[in-house]
Amino acid sequence: MTSTFSTGKILGDDYFAGDWLLIGSIRHTLLVMVCLFIIPAASFAHHSVAGFFDPEKPVEIEGVVKSVQWRNPHTIFEVNVTDESGEVVTWHIESGALGVLRSRGLAREFVSPGDHVRIMGDASIRSGHEMFARNMLLRDGKEVILTAGSLPYFSEEGAGKILESEFNDEVIAAARKSAEGIFRVWSTDIDDRSSNRLKMFDGRYPLLDAAEAVRAAYDPGDQSLRGCTKWTMPRLMANPLPMEFVRSGENILQRFEEDDNVRVIHMNNEDRPSSRERTTLGYSRGHWEGDVLVVETSLLLPERFDDHGTPFSNELALNERFRLSEGGERLDYTLTASDPKTFAEPVERSRRWDWRPEIVVGAYNCEQDQELR
C-alpha cells in the first residue's frame, strides 16, 4: 500500500533547513508541505473504523451465525438474516480486537456457527449488509459487549443479562506475587468513556499553518486504514489493549499487545544510537527521578501524529513521565510533544492505566485465526 503523501524515501535533516514557506505559489507551497511531512502509509495505517462505519446511524439485526473468525485487528462474523421478502442475506460484521474481549474476561468462544443472535452496531457507509458490531445478544439471553467504550444495550432494554466474566485464579496469584513497581501488566479501563486516553490525540493542538494545511488534505477513508500495520509513537500510547514493563539487562522493555510491539527504553546514559536511522518507535532513553520513570524519545520517522491526519517532522521530540500510584494500582502518564515545524508550542497530554493482575499481554498475531482462550 502506498500513500499519496509518500515519495518512498526519507529526506535528510538538511532539507528541513530550507525556508519553504516563502514559496510564492499556494499550489507549490502545498506540494512542498506534503514533501516535508513524508508519510509512508504502511506505517501510519491502523485499525480505525473511521471512514467506514457511521456511529450516528445505529443498526440492529437478528439472524443465524454463518461463520466466526477470532482474529485481530477485528473479530469477523457472518450472519444470515432473513429480510422482509423472505430472502436470506449474509451480513458481514466486524467487531473489536480479541484483547478487548480478554480484558472483559470473555476469553472463551461464546458464539458458534448455527447460533441465533441479535446484534447492534454502527451502519456501514459502503454497504447495506455490513456493520461494526458493539453488542451481541446470545440465544441464552446473555449480552456481550464487544468493543471498548460501548455501553450495555440489550440488557438495558430488559432483553437479557451481561455475560459473566471469567478469569484464571492462578494467573492472578502469580501476578500479585511477582508485582514490583511498574513491572506488571497495565490496561485501560475500556468502559470509561471519559478516559483521558480518548482525548490524548483529539486533533486540538496549537498547529502552525503549514501543518494545518497538510492535515486538511488528509483522507480518513483511505482503504489502508483497515490493514495490519504497526502503530507508531506517540499514537501507540493511546491504544486500549494491555501493556507491561519488563527488565532486559540494563534496559527496560515496554511490551504492548497491540501489534506485538516491543519498545526498548535505554537506561544506560552512555548508550548512544549507532546511526541516525529513524524508526516508527524512535530511540528512547530513560532515567529515574525518584520513583518516576522519565523517557526522552527522538529519531522518529515523520508520520501521522494522530488519527486526524496531523503530521510531524524530523524534529519531533517526546518527553514521557510514568508515575506509579502509592498503592501500586494505577500508573499515571504524562506526554509532552515538541515539534517546531508542527506545533506553535509544546503539546501536553495525560492518561492512566490500571493494574490488571487477572490478564496477561497476549499475542496479537494480526489477521491470523486464533483460539480466544
Domain spans of the chain, in order of start: 53-166, 173-355
Domain 173-355: CATH superfamily, name plus number: Calycin beta-barrel core domain (2.40.128.20)
User: Is residue 273's pLDDT more than 50?
Assistant: yes
Question: Rounded mean pLDDT of 250-275?
Answer: 88
Q: Which amino acid, one-letter code, is at 176?
A: R
Q: What is the pTM of this model?
A: 0.81
The class level of CATH for 53-166 reads mainly beta
- pLDDT reported for residue 289: 97
Cα-based torsion angle of the residue sequence 143, 145, 151, 153 in order, rounded to the nearest 10 degrees: -30
Tens of pLDDT, residues 13-34: 332 333 323 223 333 333 333 3
Which is higher by pLDDT, 17 or 272? 272
- pLDDT reported for residue 64: 98
Grid coordinates of 5: 503523501
Which one, of 294, 308, 143, 141, lies nearest residue 217 by Cα? 308
Which is higher by pLDDT, 41 or 211? 211
- pLDDT reported for residue 230: 73
Find all residues with CB under 8 Å of 136, minimum gap 6, and list them: 111, 117, 118, 119, 120, 143, 144, 146
With contact defined as beta carbons under 8 Å apart, do 358 and 242 qualify?
A: no
- pLDDT reported for residue 34: 38
Find all residues with CB under 8 Å of 222, minimum gap 6, and list them: 3, 41, 45, 51
Question: Rounded mean pLDDT of 37-46?
Answer: 36
